[in-house]
C-alpha cells in the first residue's frame, strides 16, 4: 500500500493568514493526488484533483502543487469558513489511501 | 446533479454481517469509466478507503479487509451494495459512498451524507 503522510496534524491560524499543508507519498504517485475538506458532521468535499486542478466552485484562495512524492495545499488568505480538517488522497493505485488529516483551527 | 445516499442499519451486533446500500442519481454505472467507492471514518479518526466497483464490474478492495468485504452493483436500480462480514466494535464508523469521477485522476467528486454504524452487543 502507498502510505500518505500529512503534516502538520493540526495548526492554529488567524483569518487572513497564509496556510500550507504538506502531504508525502511513500512512493511516486505522479499527479494522482486529491485534496478534500471536511467540516464536522459533514462528508468530505473535493477541493483539488490531479494535484493542482481546482474543483469547480472552489475559491481561488485554495491552491495545490507538487508531483511525485511531495505535495502541498495552500490557502492564501484563510477565511472563517475554511476552518476544517483537510485530507490528501492518492488515487494512483488501489488501495487508495488517505493522509491522517490536518485540522485547521482558529487562533 | 449527482447525489448519493447511504442506507442500512445503524446498529449491528458483533459477528453479524453489515449490508449497506448506496442509491445514487445523476450518473449511470453502465457508463464507461464510472465507479462508486465506499469509505469509512471511525469517530474522530481519519478516512479509510474500503472498496470500489467500476462500470465494467471490476472490483477493488482494501487488502486488510478484503476477506470480509463484497461490493456489488445493480445498474437498473442505480445502487451499489457493500457487505462486511464478522463485524466488530472497531468497525464502528460513518460509512460513505462516493462517485469516482471520469477526470482521469480517480477523484471522488461527490459523496453521500454518510451513515453511522455502531457495532455493539
Nearest residue on chain B to A101, alpha-carbon basis = B46
φ, ψ of residue B61 in degrees (nearest 5): -135, 155
Grid cell, residue A8, equals 502538520
Helix (H) or strand (E) holding B73: strand B69-74
Q: What is the mean pLDDT of chain B?
A: 97
- The per-residue pLDDT for A46 is 97
pLDDT in tens, chain A (107 residues): 999 999 999 999 999 999 999 999 999 999 999 999 999 999 999 999 999 999 999 999 999 999 999 999 999 999 999 999 999 999 999 999 999 999 999 88
pLDDT above 90: residue B102: no
Residue B65 makes CB contacts below 8 A (sequence gap 6+) with B50, B51, B84
Alpha-carbon distance B70 to A25, whole Å? 28
3-class secondary structure for chain A? Answer: CCCEEEECCEEEECCCCCEEEEEEECCCCCCCEEEEEECCCCCCEEEEECCCEECCCCCCCEEEEEECCEEEEEECCCCHHHCCEEEEEECCCCCCEECCCEEEEEC
Which of A30, A37, A51, A96 should be substituted to probe chain B, the one whose Cβ sees the most B Cβ atoms within 10 Å?
A96
Q: A94 contacts in B (CB within 8 Å)?
A: 49, 52, 60
- Judged against a pLDDT cut of 90, whether residue B103 lies above it is answered with no
DSSP label at residue B105: S
A-chain residue closest to B43, CA distance: A41
pLDDT digits (tens, 9 = 90+) for B55-73: 999 999 999 999 999 999 9
Between CA B52 and CA B22 the distance in angstroms is: 12
- Considering only CB atoms, which residues of chain B are within 8 Å of chain A? 37, 39, 46-49, 52, 60-63, 96, 101, 103-114
Q: State how far the Cα of B110 lies from the Cα of B70, in Å rounded to an integer.
A: 22
Residue B30 Cα, gap to closest chain A Cα (Å):
21
Amino acid at each position: 500500500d502507498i502510505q500518505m503522510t500529512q503534516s502538520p496534524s493540526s495548526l492554529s491560524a488567524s483569518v487572513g493568514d497564509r496556510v500550507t499543508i504538506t502531504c508525502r507519498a511513500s512512493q511516486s504517485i505522479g499527479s494522482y493526488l486529491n485534496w478534500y475538506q471536511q467540516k464536522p458532521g459533514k462528508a468530505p468535499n473535493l477541493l483539488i484533483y490531479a494535484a493542482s486542478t481546482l474543483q469547480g466552485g472552489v475559491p481561488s484562495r485554495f491552491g495545490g502543487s507538487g508531483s511525485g512524492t511531495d505535495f502541498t495545499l495552500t490557502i492564501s488568505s484563510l477565511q472563517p469558513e475554511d476552518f476544517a480538517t483537510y485530507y490528501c488522497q492518492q488515487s494512483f493505485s488501489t488501495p487508495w489511501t488517505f493522509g491522517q488529516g490536518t485540522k485547521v483551527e482558529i487562533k | 446533479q449527482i447525489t448519493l445516499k447511504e442506507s442500512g442499519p445503524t446498529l449491528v451486533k458483533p459477528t453479524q454481517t453489515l449490508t449497506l446500500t448506496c442509491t445514487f442519481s445523476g450518473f449511470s454505472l453502465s457508463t464507461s469509466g464510472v465507479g462508486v467507492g465506499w469509505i469509512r471514518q471511525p469517530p474522530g479518526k481519519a478516512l479509510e478507503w474500503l472498496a470500489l466497483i467500476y462500470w465494467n464490474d471490476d472490483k477493488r478492495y482494501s487488502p486488510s479487509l478484503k476477506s470480509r468485504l463484497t461490493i456489488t452493483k445493480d445498474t437498473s436500480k442505480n445502487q451499489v451494495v457493500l457487505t462486511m462480514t464478522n463485524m466488530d466494535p472497531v468497525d464502528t464508523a460513518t460509512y460513505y459512498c462516493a462517485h469516482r469521477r471520469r477526470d482521469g485522476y480517480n477523484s471522488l467528486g461527490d459523496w453521500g451524507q454518510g451513515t453511522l454504524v455502531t457495532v455493539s452487543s
